[in-house]
A and B are shown apart, each in its own frame.
Chain A
Amino acid sequence: MDKVVEVSSLRKSYGEIKAVNNISFSVAQGEIFGMLGPNGAGKTTTMEIVEGLRDADSGTVTVLGMNVKRHPRRVKSHIGVQLQATALYPRLTVREVLDLFGSFFPRHISSDKLIKMAGLEDSKGKRCINLSGGQQQRLSVALSLVNNPRILFLDEPTTGLDPQSRRNIWRIIEAVRRAGKTVFLTTHYMEEAERLCDRVAIVDHGKIIATDRPDRLVAKHFEEQAIEFELAQPISDNELAALSGVTSALTEDGRTVIYSSAVPATISALLELAHSKGTELSNLHVRRATLEDVFLKLTGRRIRG
């Protein structure tokens, strides 16, 4: 497969903080590539360096075969960019903003087509300031498509949206992929990464700690299932990890997850332990492991802290 984005040994520091600490990855033509990680992990910084909006301290970035640092304008005319929370021209209408952005590019898609793609037919004459959060975000994605880009960069495209609006955005992104475009997105929603991404890079503290297909990431790290519950009085993770069938246990914010390869045996042992300690179990449920569990296992923290 063709690599449309290639990043090697990228570094960027802000004073003492290493926002991007030796990151390398590539994005293949036609895939949806996601960077998953908590706020402040360095996702946005990495993405903005790739887009040519920021300079790296060191490392190289190639987009569509072009060195981003040397040809920023050429790169910008072939990519579509959506930034986190941008408020553009509040008193222009949806159609006016799309037309304006179209004029920045030598070739562009008509605003009618973009309005249709983004499902904004009913609000095309509305001023941006009067749009709902979901409509604003759809406009923002539509704007990133205005130059019919080969690669679309979406920085946390659904953050802060309600579930309905989130699904609307997902549908647009999936349509973009069907049209043969490459998508590079960042997110801190596991569900989003699992549903959309062909490949996910898990990022923490400026480093990529794992990269693979979401299902393979889970399979690689977990053969076991997750048992989640809350305890009235805490029991130490060590004690829980010693239970039958349990491979690891983690308690965070009063919520405990144990991973087990023999769920029925583990549950009866767990109930017995709780009974002997005189404490109550609540909100118990069993599920297969997810990316969230991978993140928890690799970093010892939940992603949304």
Chain B
Amino acid sequence: MRVFSKLMAAHFKQFVREKAAIFWTFAFPIFFILIFGAVFGGMDETIFPVGLVVEDDSAVAGQLNATFQNVSAFELHVGQRDDELEALKNGDRRAVIVVNEGFGDSVAQGKQADIDLYYDPTQTTSQQVVLPIIYQVVDGFDRAMAQAPSMIQVNEETLQAQDLRAIDYLVPGILAMAIMQLGIFAAAEIVSDRENRVLKRLGATPLRRSTMILSTIAFRLIVALCQAAIIILVARLAFDVPMLGNWAFLLGMVILGTLTFLAMGYMLSAFAKTERTAIPLLMSIQFPMMFLSGIFFPTEMMPGFMRPIMDAMPLTYLGDALRQIMVESSPLHSQLVNFGVLAGWLLVCIVVAIRFFKWE
């Protein structure tokens, strides 16, 4: 254990003392997010499009309508229920308020009157800004009628907008990309260590090979988790990209993804003799994967003949899994399939790596 912690400390020092490594690991994905985010917009939203559907023709409903018209933070669209919900699904509304039929009668009879409130929970601005405003307005209206106790009941209905914002789609993809690069490019270091006889020199001590490998893997896992944390944090602060799912599940997926791509790195390191030949090999693996796995844009945009390639790539499944967890995008595959394919790749890479890995 003492040896293990010493090795971890050595990895850590080696890592933080190389500025380029820090840049590629942490700054690069963040630049990616910031640049894409700026291109796709979504930064300075101060007026929110909100739909209002009034299905009741009472005077009270009319007054409520007028009250909403006066909310300066809203760009109010008054229309039919179907149209407005469609607009919400397409990402054109942040929320849709429906004043149900019989609203006015209920108020007149002193009974509970219902308002339905539709919104997309993946959009954090909806939850943090738009909903509180709506509640404030409704509350104020309720009190103004001065018929205590409050009669208006708001029923929240969540609705999955089909088209995520581009940035919401992108961020889990960038996280997946970062994990893939971390794992695959571990191969370059392994090859260089072999080339420089570091592995052999360590092999000339009683240090166990398993300790050597485990410390490397553990260290990279920690880096991957830091990377994930930073990416998620920056995406949230800069673009409101939510993390909707279960954190434990996310942690598990990040770990599984890192292990899979690390195993792939170890496997690839067996097929390059020098660091100079390793880099082109790794590039030729990572670039197609980056662009064909749908981590940057939806796979429906790909031509059909590419599908089999896409379906074979582990990055497709990691991207899909992370997207589902983080922004609850509509699934490409079920999470069970994502997990299974990644675990399958992990297993295959381990077997091939064990078969072909050379210490010198």
Taken together as a complex, chains A and B put the C-alpha atoms of A81 and B203 apart, in Å, by: 10
Q: How many A-B residue pairs have CB under 8 A?
A: 64
With a CB–CB cut-off of 8 A, which chain A residues contact B2? Answer: 103
Main secondary structure of the interface of A (DSSP, over half): loop
In-complex Cβ contact of A91 among B14, B201, B207 (8 A): B14
B6 touches A86 (CB 8 A): no
Q: Is residue A100 within 8 Å, beta carbon to beta carbon, of the partner chain?
A: yes
With a CB–CB cut-off of 8 A, which chain A residues contact B14? Answer: 89-92
In-complex Cβ contact of A87 among B7, B196, B204, B207 (8 A): B196
B198 touches A104 (CB 8 A): no
Binding site for A on B (CB under 8 A): 2-3, 6-7, 9-10, 13-14, 17-18, 196-198, 200-207, 360
For chain A, which range describes its interface: under 10, 10 to 19, 20 to 34, or 35 or more residues? 20 to 34
Taken together as a complex, chains A and B put the C-alpha atoms of A100 and B11 apart, in Å, by: 11
Within 8 A of B (CB), among A77-104: 77, 81, 83-92, 96, 99-101, 103-104
A83 touches B200 (CB 8 A): yes
Given contacts A81-B201, A83-B201, contact A91 B3 (CB under 8 A): no
A77 touches B201 (CB 8 A): no
Main secondary structure of the interface of B (DSSP, over half): helix
B204 touches A83 (CB 8 A): yes
List the A residue with the shortest CB-CB distance to B198: A88
Taken together as a complex, chains A and B put the C-alpha atoms of A112 and B153 apart, in Å, by: 76
Taken together as a complex, chains A and B put the C-alpha atoms of A127 and B18 apart, in Å, by: 12
With a CB–CB cut-off of 8 A, which chain B residues contact A100? Answer: 6-7, 9-10
Taken together as a complex, chains A and B put the C-alpha atoms of A86 and B196 apart, in Å, by: 5
Q: What is the 8 Å Cβ interface bit string for chain A, positions 131-170, against chain B (1 contact, 0 not)?
A: 0000000000001000100000000000000000000000
CB pairs A–B below 8 angstroms (10 shown): A51-B204, A76-B204, A76-B206, A81-B201, A83-B200, A83-B201, A86-B201, A87-B198, A92-B10, A143-B201
In-complex Cβ contact of A104 among B17, B18, B206 (8 A): B206
B206 touches A53 (CB 8 A): no
A105 touches B206 (CB 8 A): yes
In-complex Cβ contact of A53 among B17, B196, B204 (8 A): B204
B13 touches A86 (CB 8 A): no
A77 touches B10 (CB 8 A): no
